Structure 1
Amino acid sequence: MKTILFAVRVSDLERSLAFYTAVGYLTLATIPRDDGSSLIWLRLPDEQSVSLELVHRPADGPVETGGFEHFAIEIDSLAETIERLTAAGLQPGEPELPGGPDGPKTSWLVDPDGYRIELVEWPPSGAPTFP
């Protein structure tokens, strides 16, 4: 068993697509629906298949993001990623060390609808493993 993708509902499809493209996602497919809604499948360059689905359903009214805490993206270099995202016009947060100096480096980014994205650079020892 494995996770395939997760989906987020977005209020402005073009704005959200521009944001996630600036983050680094690639568009795989756009799927228009008969009811006026649409789906866009995205993946990051190192992923083999779709990992994020943007769901646009204008008839459902405003997007409310309460309850969805965040999702995380593993990156190679937090400093380089923050620099690239800032140059692209995004606003990543200041670097954090939630596990102390030997733990991961993180930063937070918020998409146009308020979904929080955690950027994670694992330490040289790698990601934690659990029994």
Structure 2
Amino acid sequence: MIRFLHTRIRVQDLDRSIDFYSKLGYVEKERKASPQGNQLAFLELPGNEVFLELTWSADYHTTCPEDLMHTCVGVPDIIAYCDALEKAGLEIWPSAWREKFSAGERKMAFVTDPDGYEIEILES
């Protein structure tokens, strides 16, 4: 069986990105340098086999590619999760997510990481 193992994204500031993703629930499992001199951080969501690899390179300017639309996390209670993210200082969008959820619209929200990558949040 073939399994999906990880996604790698480039970041401008490794510590700032780790701080952001830790607010989403990710845990840093390992940090090391690659043979090419990149600084790598491996993050995982507890209970998941798939991980997120953050990469920083001194000679590389990070730009969020327009065609990378988003990654996605599933949470059991999206309202409690989004409330906690807001309390941690993250901006949830759409801005009127509470009203949309209480009006019966699909429970889907987004946050944007420090480099412009979008993270979709779904109740699952």
TM-score, length-scaled by structure 2: 0.84
> Post-superposition shift, 1:32?
1.5
Q: Does 1:82 align with 2:76?
A: no
Q: Deviations over 1:98-124 (max 9, x none)?
A: xx94x85110110000000000013xx
Which amino acid letter does the alignment assign opposite residue 20 of structure 2?
A: F
Aligned residues: 117
- What does 1:48-127 correspond to in 2, within 5 Å? 49-60=49-60, 62-65=61-64, 66-93=66-93, 94=95, 95=97, 101=104, 104-122=106-124
CA RMSD of aligned residues (A): 1.9
Counterparts of 2:89 and 2:33 in 1: how far apart (Å)? 29
Residue 84 of structure 2 aligns to a residue in which SS?
A: helix
Unpaired runs of at least 5, structure 2: none
Which amino acid letter does the alignment assign opposite residue 75 of structure 2?
A: I
> Post-superposition shift, 1:37?
1.6
Point out 4+ residue stretches in structure 1 off by more than 6 angstroms: none
> Post-superposition shift, 1:58?
2.0
> Post-superposition shift, 1:33?
3.0
Residue 90 of structure 2 aligns to a residue in which SS?
A: coil
Match of 1:4 in 2: 5
Identity of aligned residues (%): 28
Answer yes or no: is the 8 Å Cα contact 2:4–2:50 preserved in 1: no
Unpaired runs of at least 5, structure 1: 123-131
> Post-superposition shift, 1:92?
1.4
TM-score, length-scaled by structure 1: 0.80
